[in-house]
A and B are shown apart, each in its own frame.
Chain A
């Protein structure tokens, strides 16, 4: 994957290995995420994509190998030392992970309050701003259980953006949505990427999302990197696992 040698990568993953329940889910994965670019991690179910994503902000510790954020190796850092790093990285979780006990506005303002912002007017203004960005202006007082799947993802995206992070991680942002909502979320993410120029890593099995937002692609199968390169390179790959994945997607769209 080509990158500017003068700008250090945002994430650097080296020979990452991980097991879950005795099963090896990541087998020596290496990845470099350049700053300001969107990297898509693609693969079928059980490929290890979400597990890889959880290592990028230190939610999981590597069994072996290393994960660095802007040159800082996360492996040896205790939980407390990881917190300032995590605050620079926004996360959109697969099901939104909105706090049930809070309204939409409280959810979106949560990262700001936790970063010590006490000015209620400033928090309300920022909440309004990011909710507008995701097309949910005026929904502050709603409860998360009153929202549709697509709205929950939008609120989760607004919450991830609220504290003005340097990077965004998306865990299956289109999973569980119908094709129209799925495309709408993908377009929204693409638009935000262009407007905000954030470093982004998106985990998905949705080729449409990859085509819309990716600057570079990593294809995982059973915890092994089968391809790393441009989206065009992936589409031209002769790797049987990748061809099978691309063909299955094409069949699904017919």
Chain B
């Protein structure tokens, strides 16, 4: 019973220490430009396709469902604002982050975990190199840069797909759709999504790097670390999203829909 409480608390404590260590290293250790650039390529450019496809199809399916229901009530024009706010505030950041967690969280945990079980982390330490400086900080920086861009892309693709479907398939006039969408989408909606995406990105890096750095028991241990990195990151994104939504609805409120 005691162990069931102690283990998660110890895990959270280790994550907090890793976060503090990474933040301190960010300001005190020299920037590893090449490693950071390579991570930006892996995270930012490598995740383009999944984020674009996820954003576009989520926007499209949400627009379809919203239009069918709203149109019954004669509120077809509300589709744009509803899709826009949902994509900006919730679906864009959450789904982009889940895709990055599945793709890059697994890769980070597997790469660092393999380094751990093959003594490459020990080798770093033996050469006087801090593994947090060398492995975590470049990923931390790369996701700080990449995640807002990926979220913005997911939001834009979602809205584009929603407009295409609503205008081209359901026959809503484009100026009407766009006018309503722009009238009811505030900067705070977009900012809320970008901030959420950044927080989720940092969670993915911390959780995945932590799982990798603590991998043990050879290939089986690396597999376990990889699975846990994806599961933990995904759960953390969904739970933290709830609290961020409450917070941002107070600090960065959306506009009231007035049709």
Contact residues of B between 100 and 122, Cβ < 8 Å to A: 114-115, 118-120, 122
Closest chain B CB from A81 CB (angstroms): 11
Q: A59 interface residue, CB < 8 Å from B?
A: yes
Closest chain B CB from A178 CB (angstroms): 21
Q: A195 interface residue, CB < 8 Å from B?
A: no
Contact B127 A97 (CB under 8 A): no
Contact B114 A100 (CB under 8 A): yes
Closest chain B CB from A115 CB (angstroms): 8
Contact residues of B between 115 and 150, Cβ < 8 Å to A: 115, 118-120, 122-123, 125-130
One of A36-44, A86-94, A211-219, A227-235 at the interface:
A86-94
The number of chain A residues touching the other chain, given as a range, is 20 to 34
Closest chain B CB from A84 CB (angstroms): 7
Contact residues of A between 90 and 112, Cβ < 8 Å to B: 91, 93-95, 97-100, 110-111
Contacting residue for B118 out of A59, A79, A97, CB 8 A? A97
Output the nearest chain B residue to A86 by Cβ-Cβ distance.
B128
Contact B123 A97 (CB under 8 A): yes
Contact residues of A between 38 and 65, Cβ < 8 Å to B: 54, 57, 59
Contacting residue for B119 out of A86, A89, A94, CB 8 A? A94
The number of chain B residues touching the other chain, given as a range, is 10 to 19
Q: A6 interface residue, CB < 8 Å from B?
A: no
Contact A93 B128 (CB under 8 A): no
Please name all residues of chain B whose beta carbon is closer than 8 Å to the beta carbon of A99 when the two chains form the complex: 115, 120, 123
19 contacts between A and B (CB under 8 A): A59-B122, A59-B125, A80-B130, A83-B129, A84-B128, A86-B127, A87-B127, A87-B128, A89-B126, A91-B123, A93-B119, A93-B123, A93-B126, A95-B119, A97-B118, A100-B114, A100-B120, A115-B128, A163-B127
Task: Please report A residues at the B interface, Cβ cutoff 8 Å.
Answer: 54, 57, 59, 79-80, 82-84, 86-87, 89, 91, 93-95, 97-100, 110-111, 114-115, 163
Task: Please report B residues at the A interface, Cβ cutoff 8 Å.
Answer: 114-115, 118-120, 122-123, 125-130
- Identify the 9 closest CB pairs spanning chains A and B, nearest first: A83-B128, A97-B119, A97-B123, A87-B128, A91-B126, A86-B128, A93-B119, A111-B127, A97-B120
